[in-house]
Amino acid sequence: MKALLCAGLACGLSLILCACGPDTDEQAAMGGQEGMIEVEASSWEAFNRLSDEDQLHQATALLIIRYDIDEQGKVTPVVTHRKSRLGSDSPPYQEGDVYLPESQQEFLNVIGDERRHLGDGAVVLFSGNPPQQRGLSIIRDGASGAGSISVEAVLRGFDGASVVNGRPAEVLTLEPDLSKGETGLAKITLSEDEKDILVGILERRELRHEVVAQGGEYVVGWIGMDKDMMQVMDEFDAACE
The verdict on residue 10 lying in a domain is no
Over residues 128-141, the pLDDT tens digits come to 989 999 888 889 88
- 111 and 233 Cβ atoms separated by less than 8 Å: no
Q: Answer yes or no: is 95 within a domain.
A: yes
**C-alpha of 235 from chain center:** 21
Per-residue pLDDT, 157: 92
The residue segments making up the domain with residue 28 are 15-240
Instruction: With respect to residue 24, please indicate whether it lies within any of the assigned structural domains.
Output: yes
Note whether residue 9 is domain-resident. Answer: no
Please report the sign of the dihedral spanned by the C-alpha atoms of residue 109, residue 113, residue 119, residue 121.
Answer: positive
The count of domains in the chain is: 1
The pLDDT, as a whole number, for residue 151 is 92
Give the C-alpha separation, 95 to 32, whole Å. 32
pLDDT at 99: 95
Domain membership flag for residue 3 = no
Residue 50 has a pLDDT of: 81
pTM, entire model: 0.63
In the structure, what pLDDT confidence band is assigned to residue 17 with cuts at 50, 70 and 90? very low
| pLDDT for residue 111 | 73
Within a domain: residue 223?
yes
Q: What is the pLDDT of residues 217-236, one digit of tens each?
A: 788 888 888 777 778 988 98
pLDDT (tens digit per residue) in 95-128? 999 999 988 888 888 776 666 678 889 999 999 9
Q: What is the pLDDT of residues 153-209, one digit of tens each?
A: 999 999 998 887 776 666 677 778 888 888 777 878 788 999 999 999 999 999 999
Contact assessment for residue 220 and residue 210, using Cβ atoms and an 8 Å cutoff: yes
What single-letter DSSP state applies at residue 178?
G
User: pLDDT tens digits for 19-37?
Assistant: 334 444 433 333 334 443 3
pLDDT score for 215? 65
Domain membership of residue 22 (yes or no) is yes
Give tens-digit pLDDT for 37-94. 344 445 777 787 788 888 999 999 999 999 998 888 888 999 999 999 998 889 999 9
Residue 5 lies inside a defined structural domain of this protein: no
Listed in order, strand segments (DSSP E) in the chain are 15-18, 61-69, 75-84, 121-127, 132-140, 143-144, 149-150, 184-190, 209-214, 217-224
